[in-house]
Every structure is written in C-alpha cells, then in structure tokens.
Structure 1
Amino acid sequence: MKKTLVTFVLAASVSLGATAAHADILSDVKAKGYIQCGVTGGVAGFSAPDANNVWTGLEVDFCRAVAAAVFNNADAVRFTPLTSQERFAALSAGEIDILSRTTTWTMSRDTDLGISFIGTMYYDGQGFMVRKADGINGALELSGAAICIESGTTTELNAADYFAANNLEFNTVVFVDQDEVVKAYEDGRCDVYTTDASALAAERSKFAVPDDHIILPEIISKEPLGPVVRQGDDLWFKINRWSYYALLEAEELGVTSANVDEMLGSDNPAIKRLLGVEGDFGTPIGLNKDWAYQIVKLVGNYGEAFERNVGPSTDIGLERGLNALWTNGGLQYAPPIR
C-alpha cells in the first residue's frame, strides 16, 4: 500500500511539474520578447508569407492582436508553419504559444488534447471544388470521383460520412500536406478537391485561371475555425479570449484603427471601457489598461481584419455571411467589457 501511495504521489508530482512548466506563458512570452504563433504553411487570406517572409491573414491578425495587447507592438510575433499532423503536438510541447491555424473546434479536440479553444475567428463549412469543364453541378454527382484530401483533418471524416449517407462510392487520394493536395488537384491526379469552403476560395484565387474551377453549392459540415492555447494557464487563455472579443466589440461600437484616437473622447461608456479611458480591465489579466486600444490602433477591429484579408474586395472574395456581427444577422458576438 505504501508503494502504491508513493507511486501515486510521484506520478502526481510529475504531472504537476509538467503543468507548472507551462503555467506562466505570459512571463515566458515577455522574457523572450515575442509570441510564437503556429499557422498554416500558406492559405491565402488566413496565413501566408509574401516574398519578403511577411505574414498576413485573418489568423495571423489574431496573433498580432495578442502581441499588441501584451507588448503594444503588433509585430512582436513570430510564425511557425505547421502541418495538420504537427500542430497539436507543437502546441502541447510548448514550441508555440498560440495555434492559429484553420483549426476546427470539435468536442474530442476540446476534451482529449489538453487544449482550449479561444473562440471562432471564422464560421466555415466543408465544400467541394471541381473543374468547370467536367460539367458537375452538385456533390451528389461525385460518386466514384477521385477526391484529394489532406490527412489528419476533420475533412476526411466529414467526406466519408457524407458519401456513406448518400450511398455514393468514396474514392480518396490522401496527402499529408495541403500544398501536396492542391498540387495534385492542379496536376489532374484527382477530380475533386475538398476542404473548408474558405480554403477552397483561397486556393482557387491562386490558380492560373480561377474561373476554370467552381465550388459546388453544398456545404456538408460545420467548421468553426479558431485559435487554440494549451490548458493549464488560465491567465493566458483569458488574454487570448478577450483579445478576440475586443476585435468584435470594437467593430460593434464603430471603433476602427482610423478613428480610435478620436474615440478616446467619446461619451459612450462602453467605448470608454473598451479603450481604457474608464475603469481598468487590463490589470486583472496582466495587461495595461489600454490593451484593447493597442489592438484596435495597431491591428484594427474584426471587420477591418476580415475585409483586408478575405472580404469581397480581395481576390478571395468572401462575404461576411455567418461571420457578420449578431447585429447584422451573423453569429459573431462578444460579451460586454464591464
């Protein structure tokens, strides 16, 4: 019995030690002077580097927003491109501080992997892309077609379920990396490319002749895509969560990167609290009282980030849809800062 007790205590100590090693991420981040952010290798509009290795995208902007809140410097962030297979291990091992990589929020991921989802940066769903010349008008016509899929994603299970439910022959060509999937589709090694509809639009925008490819109308799944942090550090979780909410709250209140300085003089109590003019909502989460002001000043609000990265005026051309604010018929909603 003593041996059993000692073994249990030692195991508990090891577990607590492992948790403690990552229990003060804010201090670790401040000590090194930047946030390490895990992203995709390159999905236009979400996270992709340019020729000078400058990263841009909606998910990149989330990490920049957290850097603005912590450092008053949106550029105090470095990016680690990760495959679907690598992403959760890298987060758990402490190789990255935030995972902001087109990651779908599911129950099993939320409960089994020792991670916490911050919120939904983009409400998405899985779709299918085909060549216009093939004359396919809907997903129910895809029986027996060769379908390119990235392994280690929710895409595989969603597609398998859809084909089984509709008694269609399921024929996949599986690749480890999304770039391999896209190249295989472009090279004609498969007839169909399936992934999140936003990613399909992003990849199509980079094709030589985008109009030669169509995204079918069917959306076969719910894919709430959002940033993730390790469990075990509640403060770091709250910093990330409220950075996300600040982006939404700023848009709802009409505070933008262009007018944020003018808004410091607003009589609206909600704007005063958001920008740190009234009350101190930064200290409880280890930040300065103007943390949200810094986010809006240096990154903008959610609507600004959406428009410049994936909105209708970009090559990707996505409408807000479900990603509109709740006041405009969408799902994006932030609890009040008060």
Structure 2
Amino acid sequence: MSTMRTLLSGAIGTALAIAAALPATAAPPADTVAAIRARGQLVCGVSPSAAGFATQSGSTWKGFEVDYCRAVASVVLGDAEKVRIVPVPAGQRFAGLEQGEIDLLTRNTTWTLEREAGNNIAFAAITYYDGQGFMLRDERGIRRVQQMDGLKVCVEAATTTEQNVAEYARAMRMRLTVVPVADATKAQAAFLAGFCDALTSDLSVLAGFRRSLGSRADEFSLLGEIISKEPLSMVVRRGDWRFFDIVRWTHFAMVAAEELNMDGETLRQLRSRSEADLAGAGTEVQRLLGRVGASGRLLGLDPDWAARLVIQVGNYREVWERNIGPLGIRRGLNLTWNQGGLLYAPPMR
C-alpha cells in the first residue's frame, strides 16, 4: 500500500510540476491567430508521454500529436518549427485551453457532447478514430473482457476511459474494481508493479505502451474487443471561429493530399513548375498548390498554405507512418474513405 501511495504522490507531483510550467496568461486572446503571430510561436498542448503520439527526448518532442501542432504552425506562421510544446495532464487540459495558457490542444482527447457543451471549447476535427481496450499479463490466459470478472483495473483519472469502464462493468453485471491514477504513466507503472490485474486505455495508447516494454512485450496481451468509441480530436476555444476553421482545414488538407497521392516531395517538385506545366496536374492538385481557388484568402492565409503544410510536415499517411506505423497498429478506420476507412475531406473549393 505504501508503494501505491508513493506512485499516487509522484503522479500528483508530476501534474503540479507540469502545471507550473504552463505559460501564464491573463486572459484568453479574442483573436488567436493575431496572438500567435504577435508571439511568433504556437503554444500547443499534448500528452505528457504517449508512445507514437507525444514523447520527449531532451528538448525535442515528436509524435502524431506533435506533428499536428507543427502542421498548424506551418499554416499560421509559415514555419512548422515555430511551436512551443506543452505537456498537459488530462485533468487540466480544458482549463488550460479556456484560460489561454495554450492556443491549441492536440492531446489525445475524445470528442463528446458533454465536453463540448459543458466547456468553452470546440472540437475542430477528428484526427484519429480509436477505441478503448484492455491489457493483461499473457500468463492469465484471459482472451475476452467477460473473463475479467473480479479483477482490479488501473485507469488514468479524469478521462472518458475511467467513465467507460465503470459504465461497461455495470451494463455487463461484472465486478471490476476501478483504480484511478492521476497520470497515465503512473497508471502503467502501477499495473506493471502488480497493483492492478489489468490496464485500460485507448488501444493506441496500450499498443504504444506494450511496444515500449521491448523484450518484455510478449509477456502482455491486448484483448481484441473494444468497449467504446473514442474519436480523438483537436480542440480550440469556442467563439474564435477563424482559428477553428484554420485548424479544421489543416487536417482536411492533410487528408486531401493523401487522397490525391500528393506527398511532401511531390508537392515540392510541383511547386516550382509554371502554370503551363501544371495544366495536366488536375484542378484539385492546383488547389493544394494555391494556383486555383480562394482558400487562402477566405481563411486569411497565403495562397500556398496547404502545399507548404504538406511539404513541411507531410500528408496524413506520412504523419501516420512516421509515428503510428512503428507501433504496429493497423490503420483500420483511419484509412481514407476511398480505402475503406472513415477519413473524408470535404472539397477544398
């Protein structure tokens, strides 16, 4: 029990330390784009630590969430590197956004009605379709969720994950002891230390955690069943609809580029071509390049914002393969609509 108290104490200390590192802002800016440009930097909230999504090595951050921060920075500031990454604990993510401590939240955050209607926030775009699952020691021989009756389950507190597992247990008339831990990393540590029989989280998080165990990975199994829908979305403050539109269409541009099979290197080459040379490239490609249409003007951006985004950060497939692919996660629902998935970008016209 004393070890569990140490884990919980450490989790609280970590959360307080991260909170202290957040930039102090008197009031949220009315015009987020103007504030970002005046500052010369996008302040973006991500997960404190999630393999494939947001991890830090020295002063360098990388991951799926980080690349979305970089993508928005490339669109608003013209440079994907002009971004300040801020790790945000689950329980503080919405307050930090509402109070102007961060401009954008890309942290793995599930879009729900209560979150959107109950806070001063707006979900701009679903970047990842996920679902909640369970991880157990392989030696238990458990292969179905219904076999978990009577077990203790570690979960990150203040998340939809905690609510989902409690509701699922009631609905299935299962006896599960839910053990909330303030930080995802500490929840994982508690599971490894044997304080819980199982660990529950988004399947993407569990897969990343299992892979991070290296040679021990084979000691653990992920159940094939999922118990929830977890549409992960970028989040902005409600009311600043110009920034909302920019963030939303940043994602759509990345998806559209993949649909058109336009990666960063291809667009880099096309960007230097003349109007005559681009005649056979197709109208949609020319829209990405800013040669056709008024997307830049309507969003308050320069004409080639979308091409620059893909050149500097990549299309959706490139971002996925760079960050999520190494985890061994199949794209599934995160394929584009023309490959059988749910990703679908409205026309950029």
Tell me the TM-score normalized by structure 2. 0.88
SS in 2 for 1:189: coil
What is the rounded CA distance, in whole Å, between the counterparts of 1:21 and 1:140 in structure 2? 46
Cα distance, 1:239 vs structure 2: 0.7
- Which residue of 1 is the match for residue 142 of structure 2? 136
Partner of 2:204: 198
1:216 aligns with 2:220: no
State the distance in 2 between where 1:172 and 1:118 align. Answer: 31
Q: Aligned match of 1:263 in 270, 278, 282? A: 270
Q: Distance in 1 between matches of 2:228 and 2:210?
A: 20
The within-5 A match list for 1:15-164 is: 22-50=29-57, 52-164=58-170
Q: Partner of 1:14 in structure 2?
A: none
Residue 328 of structure 1: which of 314, 339, 349 is its match? 339
- The percentage of counterpart residues that share the same residue type is 43
Flag the 1:222–1:324 CA change in 2: closer, same or farther, 3 A.
same
- Residues 30-68 of structure 1 show CA distances to partners (whole Å, capped at 9, x for unaligned) of 011010000111101111112x22111111111111111
Per the alignment, do residues 21 and 201 of structure 1 end up closer, same or farther by CA in structure 2, a change over 3 Å counting?
closer
The 3-state SS of whatever aligns with 2:125 is coil
Kindly report which structure 2 residues correspond to 1:222-241, keeping only aligned pairs within 5 A, or say none: 222-241=229-248
Partner SS, residue 85 of structure 1: helix
User: Counterpart amino acid of 2:286?
Assistant: K
The answer to whether the 8 Å contact 1:255/1:263 transfers is: no
Paired with 1:280 and 1:166, the residues of 2 have a C-alpha distance of: 53
Q: Tell me the secondary structure at the aligned position of residue 212 of structure 2.
A: coil
Distance 2:224 2:59 in 1: 35
Contact 2:335 / 2:343 at 8 angstroms: preserved in 1? yes
State whether structure 2 residue 316 is matched by structure 1 residue 302: yes
Cα distance in 1 for residues equivalent to 2:47 and 2:231: 16
SS in 2 for 1:118: strand
The answer to whether structure 1 residue 167 and structure 2 residue 168 are counterparts is: no
For 2:269 and 2:233, how far apart are their aligned partners in 1? Answer: 31
Deviation for aligned residue 1:21: 5.1
SS at match of 2:129: strand
- Give the residue type in structure 2 aligned to 1:185: F
Q: Distance in 2 between matches of 1:109 and 1:172?
A: 22
1:25 partner amino acid: T
Tell me the CA shift for residue 262 of structure 1. Answer: 2.8
TM-score for both structures, normalised by structure 1: 0.91
Tell me, yes or no, if structure 1 residue 317 matches structure 2 residue 317.
Answer: no
- Paired residue secondary structure (1:244): helix
1:190-236 CA-partner distances (Å, limit 9, x unpaired): 11000100000011111141111110011000000011000121101
Structure 2: distance between partners of 1:132 and 1:263: 51
Which residue is 2:6 aligned to? none
Flag structure 1 segments of 5+ consecutive residues without an equivalent. Answer: 1-19
The AA in structure 2 aligned to 1:288 is D
- Say whether residues 1:189 and 2:229 are aligned partners: no
Contact 1:118/1:244 (<8 A) preserved: no
Q: Which residue of 2 aligns with 1:289?
A: 303
| CA distance in structure 2 between the partners assigned to 1:281 and 1:121 by the alignment | 21
Deviation at residue 110 of structure 1 after TM alignment? 1.3
SS in 2 for 1:120: strand
Instruction: Note if contact 1:125-1:196 (Cα within 8 Å) is conserved in structure 2.
Output: yes
Please list the CA deviations of residues 80-127 of structure 1 after superposition, one character each: whole Å capped at 9, or x if unmatched: 101110100000000000001000000111111011111111100000
Partners of 2:123 and 2:95 in 1: how far apart? 15
The residue number in structure 2 matching 1:11 is: none
Of 52-61 and 27-36, more deviation after overlay is shown by 52-61
1:150 CA displacement: 0.9
Contact 1:263 1:271 in 2 (8 A): no
- Aligned 8 A contact 1:47 1:59 in 2: yes
Shift in Å, 1:23: 1.7
Whether contact under 8 Å (2:28, 2:101) holds in the other structure is: no
Deviation at 1:283, TM superposition (A): 1.8
CA distance in 1, matches of 2:291, 2:220: 50
Dislocated runs of 4+, deviation >2 Å: 261-267
Aligned residues: 317
Distance of aligned partners of 1:21 and 1:127 in 2 relative to their CA distance in 1, 3 Å threshold: closer
The one-letter amino acid of 1:203's match is F
SS of structure 1 residue aligned to 2:295: coil
